[in-house]
């Protein structure tokens, strides 16, 4: 007879099996976590496992095992009670200009990434004679769920055909190529009819990323053949390109007006929004993307040296942009615009709040978001800002005590005699550098408060006027070892030169001076009392997208050392479309940060307000904090590397660091412990954001020739690339 303990063990095993069977679908697991505002790292920490394991559970690649399985099931069960799945007919959206929902709406599930389609699709199918709402699948195309485990319940029925479609015309038949190889027959004979078909029948769009946000409008990508079919030019004239739009007299715009459709103030350009007035709270808006009008700039979305988008089959273009939409967000213009829109989508400024007195819903501000346009600070704004009108001469160059100059490194120095004896220069490059810099960064959410002669507080984000010229890093102690600071750039200036007097700095820069053991005495400050980690979900979204695509290319976060370098070398030949997707994700991170201080691009005269200043997200102080945190983070690792291996860089260009080396590989440069692990606090090879990869190697002799040709020392960091596309977009 079995003992009591054996019987109890059998029951426990049975309960564990039940817990596993009760787990929701992988897509629903991700939806529940994102609805609760939790990161994969937080869930992993609670369950005492790795973040990658949680990502695999949500992707359907693996299932949790005991003892985490039961705890994970309980977590999902409780989250499902608080964040129930949306009904099949979820409430719609407000009018185009609004940013809040008319009533509280539960978060819709984010669709799982589709499986890669064949790199070379077969010939297009013949035109179908079925009804417009019917679908056909391209022969040989994989189903969307072939690799990622999903269920019907995880797909929002309003957007069952995906976030976007590529509209193409062949032999008179118009087809809409969607993600996963799906092809829709399009009956529309005119552009207004195409817009109405998209609104009423196409079932395109993307569920909101935050329960208080709004669903993404469907995107139609028009190929040259579709442009011809609907009476649009294949390319813009020089005058139209300068204006960024078609003239109002164009026949298609007359058709739009006659159909009582509307355009935004931007007009009909490479990215055009066409919409009807909303039905109640339901949006009726379609975004048009026209690649042949340079909607998908080759510097961001393509390989500028060998453009691939112009010759892509519509199904492959749908796959590319569809994967970007599913992993990041629906593209809404340039990657910079999309990166900024992603911030707002993940941290909506308003929510619907019920008025207990009237029972009606009204907009209320979210405490963790950017909710208003506050007064700007003179030291934080660019030269053409209205605040500076009459302050300086027209071409005056502001000095560091007049302007906050937080930028990435652009620094280079002469090689020493010992360094010239080493045969190689090895360049390492930081992964997803700008996104990694905002991970956990506290930024201002409210307006500025001016302080006179304040005591420095590292917890207050803002700008500080302080003299750091006394900070001498020529001989500093790191982990008990002396570091030659003269061979390192200053952490306080983008040029690496030592400050000469008072200057404006963002909080991370001043905090680093304190961390190094130096006293600081601010003269003045503009700080934000309301603050928070606004960019955390934005970083998490981009990190997950980047890591997911790199895993598809065969590079995982578990890899390090030579295994990682070999996998990175192979990844360049795995899938050209996924390689473009990696570039677009990196460009989104860089562009989103830059967009926080969008400058006047000639829209209005100097010192006149330009449109970007009206955005809640025009926040140059947040951009400055991100770049300051990035630069001092680089310097911190430079110091640790110098202390561990007496190793000093000779050039830094943004996120590319050049080291003299005895061998051609990063493994010949980066310091390791006796146990074979990276030295603590130094640069570490790997694919996770903030870790580094190999950008390229050149000889010291080559560098000396470059110096001779250019008449002295210049920054050669971004000239050393084994792959011409390495580092682009970061």
How many residues are given for the chain?
730
Q: Of all residues in the chain, what percent carry a pLDDT higher than 90?
A: 65
Establish whether the linkage from the previous residue to 397 is cis, with ω within 30° of 0.
Answer: no
pLDDT value, residue 614: 94
d(CA 178, CA 320): 10
Residue 452 vs residues 378, 405, 449, 462: alpha-carbon distances, Å? 15, 21, 10, 13
Q: Is the pLDDT of residue 69 over 90?
A: no
pLDDT value, residue 628: 98
Q: Is the pLDDT of residue 108 over 50?
A: no
Kindly report, residue by residue over 634-689, the tens digit of the pLDDT.
Answer: 999 999 999 999 999 999 999 999 999 999 999 999 999 988 899 999 999 999 99
Give the mean model confidence (pLDDT) for residues 373-391: 95
Residue 341 vs residues 99, 159, 460: alpha-carbon distances, Å? 12, 20, 26
d(CA 185, CA 131): 8
Least confident span in 89-93, 305-309, 470-474, 652-656: 89-93
CB-based contact 687:547 (threshold 8 Å):
yes
Residue 197 vs residues 9, 23, 169, 185, 200: alpha-carbon distances, Å? 59, 38, 16, 11, 5
pLDDT value, residue 474: 86
Kindly report, residue by residue over 322-379, the tens digit of the pLDDT.
Answer: 999 999 999 999 999 999 999 999 999 998 888 888 888 888 999 999 999 999 999 9
More confident residue, 71 or 515: 515
pLDDT value, residue 725: 46
Which neighbouring-strand residues pair with 481? Answer: 478
- Domain range list for the chain: 15-82, 135-331, 388-407+438-532
Q: Is the pLDDT of residue 49 over 90?
A: no
- pLDDT, the chain, mean: 86
Which tokens belong to 310? 């112009």
pLDDT band at 10 (very low <50, low <70, confident <90, very high): low
Kindly report, residue by residue over 140-176, the tens digit of the pLDDT.
Answer: 333 333 333 333 335 788 999 999 999 999 988 999 9
Q: Is the pLDDT of residue 294 over 50?
A: yes
pLDDT band at 8 (very low <50, low <70, confident <90, very high): low
pLDDT value, residue 2: 59
Q: Is the pLDDT of residue 134 over 60?
A: no
C-alpha of 435 from chain center: 7
d(CA 455, CA 437): 25
More confident residue, 281 or 287: 287
d(CA 467, CA 140): 66
d(CA 427, CA 649): 9
Give the mean model confidence (pLDDT) for residues 566-583: 93
Which tokens belong to 317? 């273009």
Backbone angles phi, psi at 351, to 5 degrees: -140, 165
pLDDT value, residue 476: 83
pLDDT value, residue 718: 80
pLDDT value, residue 141: 38
Pick the CATH number of 15-82 from 3.30.70, 3.30.1380, 1.10.260, 2.40.50: 1.10.260
State the burial class of residue 305 (Cβ atoms within 10 Å of its Cβ: 0-12, 13-18, 19+).
exposed
Give the mean model confidence (pLDDT) for residues 31-53: 83
Q: Is the pLDDT of residue 440 over 60?
A: yes
CB-based contact 449:687 (threshold 8 Å):
no
Task: Report the predicted TM-score, pTM, of the whole model to 2 decimal places.
Answer: 0.79
d(CA 441, CA 86): 33
Give the mean model confidence (pLDDT) for residues 178-203: 95
Give the mean model confidence (pLDDT) for residues 421-445: 96
Alpha helices in 460-619, H assignment, sequence order:
507-515, 536-552, 561-571, 576-595
Instruction: Out of 169-173, 303-307, 403-407, give the one with best mean pLDDT.
Output: 403-407
SS3 state of residue 17? helix
More confident residue, 132 or 379: 379
d(CA 455, CA 336): 36
- 204, 279, 263, 176: CA torsion to nearest 10: 20
pLDDT band at 572 (very low <50, low <70, confident <90, very high): confident
Could you give the count of Cα atoms lying within 13 Å of 315 in the half-sphere of its Cβ? 26
The DSSP letter of residue 206 is B
């Amino acid at each position: 007879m079995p003992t009591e303990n054996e019987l109890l063990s059998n029951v426990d095993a049975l309960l564990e099996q039940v817990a596993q069977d009760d787990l929701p679908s992988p897509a629903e697991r991700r939806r529940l976590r994102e609805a609760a505002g939790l990161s994969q790292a937080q869930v992993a920490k609670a369950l005492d496992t790795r973040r990658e394991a949680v990502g695999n559970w949500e992707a359907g690649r693996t299932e949790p095992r005991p003892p985490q399985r039961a705890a994970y099931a309980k977590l999902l069960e409780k989250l499902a009670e608080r964040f129930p799945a949306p009904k099949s007919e979820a409430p719609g959206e407000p009018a185009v200009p609004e940013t809040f929902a008319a009533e509280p709406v539960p978060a819709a599930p984010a669709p799982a990434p589709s499986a890669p389609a064949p790199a070379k699709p077969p010939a297009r199918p013949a035109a179908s004679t079925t009804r417009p709402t019917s679908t056909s699948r391209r022969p040989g195309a994989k189903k969307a769920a072939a690799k990622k485990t999903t269920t019907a319940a995880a797909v929002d029925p309003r957007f069952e055909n995906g976030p976007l479609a590529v509209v193409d015309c062949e032999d008179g038949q118009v087809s809409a190529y969607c993600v996963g190889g799906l092809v829709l027959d399009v009956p529309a004979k005119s552009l207004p009819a195409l817009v109405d078909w998209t609104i009423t029948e196409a079932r395109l769009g993307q569920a909101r990323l935050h329960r208080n946000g709004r669903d993404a409008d469907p995107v139609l990508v028009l190929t040259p053949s579709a442009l011809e079919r609907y009476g649009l030019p294949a390319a813009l004239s020089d005058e139209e390109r300068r204006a960024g739009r078609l003239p109002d007299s164009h026949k298609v715009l007359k058709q739009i007006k006659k159909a009582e459709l509307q355009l935004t103030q931007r007009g009909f350009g490479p990215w055009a929004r066409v919409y009807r007035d909303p039905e109640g709270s339901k949006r009726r808006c379609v975004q048009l993307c026209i690649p042949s009008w340079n909607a998908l700039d080759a510097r961001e979305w393509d390989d500028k040296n060998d453009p691939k988008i112009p010759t892509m089959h519509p199904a492959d273009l749908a796959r590319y942009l569809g994967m970007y939409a599913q992993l990041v967000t629906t593209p809404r213009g340039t990657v910079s615009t999309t990166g900024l829109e992603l911030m707002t989508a993940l941290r909506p400024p308003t929510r619907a709040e019920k008025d207990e007195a009237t029972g009606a819903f009204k907009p209320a501000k979210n405490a963790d978001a950017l909710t208003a346009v506050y007064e700007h600070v003179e030291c934080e704004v660019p030269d053409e800002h209205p605040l500076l009108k009459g302050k300086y001469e027209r071409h005056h160059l502001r000095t560091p005590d007049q302007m906050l100059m937080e930028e990435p490194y652009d620094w280079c120095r002469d090689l020493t005699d010992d360094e010239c004896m080493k045969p190689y220069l090895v360049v390492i490059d930081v992964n997803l550098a700008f996104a990694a810099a905002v991970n956990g960064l506290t930024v201002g959410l409210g307006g500025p408060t001016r302080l006179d002669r304040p005591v420095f507080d590292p917890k207050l984000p803002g700008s500080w006027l302080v003299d750091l010229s006394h900070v001498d890093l020529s001989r500093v102690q790191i982990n008990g070892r002396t570091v030659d600071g003269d061979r390192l750039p200053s952490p306080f200036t983008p040029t690496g030169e030592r400050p000469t007097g008072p200057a404006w700095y963002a909080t991370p820069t001043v905090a680093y001076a304190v961390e190094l053991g130096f006293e600081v005495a601010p003269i003045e400050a503009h700080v934000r009392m309301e603050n928070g980690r606004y960019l955390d979900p934005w970083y998490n979204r981009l990190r997950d997208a980047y890591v997911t695509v790199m895993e598809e290319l065969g590079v995982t976060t578990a890899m390090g050392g030579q295994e990682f370098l070999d996998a990175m070398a192979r990844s360049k030949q795995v899938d050209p479309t996924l390689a473009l997707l990696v570039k677009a994700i990196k460009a989104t991170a860089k562009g989103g940060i830059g967009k926080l201080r969008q400058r006047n691009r000639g829209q209005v005269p100097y010192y006149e307000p330009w449109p970007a200043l009206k955005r809640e997200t025009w926040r140059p102080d947040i951009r400055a904090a991100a770049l300051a945190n990035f630069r001092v983070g680089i310097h911190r690792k430079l110091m640790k590397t110098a202390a561990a291996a007496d190793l000093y860089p000779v050039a830094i260009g943004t996120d590319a660091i050049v080291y003299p080396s005895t061998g051609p590989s990063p493994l010949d440069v980066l310091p390791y412990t006796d146990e074979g692990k990276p030295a603590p606090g130094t640069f570490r090879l790997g694919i996770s954001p903030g870790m580094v990869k190999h950008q390229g190697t050149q000889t010291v002799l080559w560098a000396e020739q470059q110096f001779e040709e250019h008449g002295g020392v210049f920054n050669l960091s971004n000239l050393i690339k084994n792959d011409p596309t390495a580092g682009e977009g970061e």
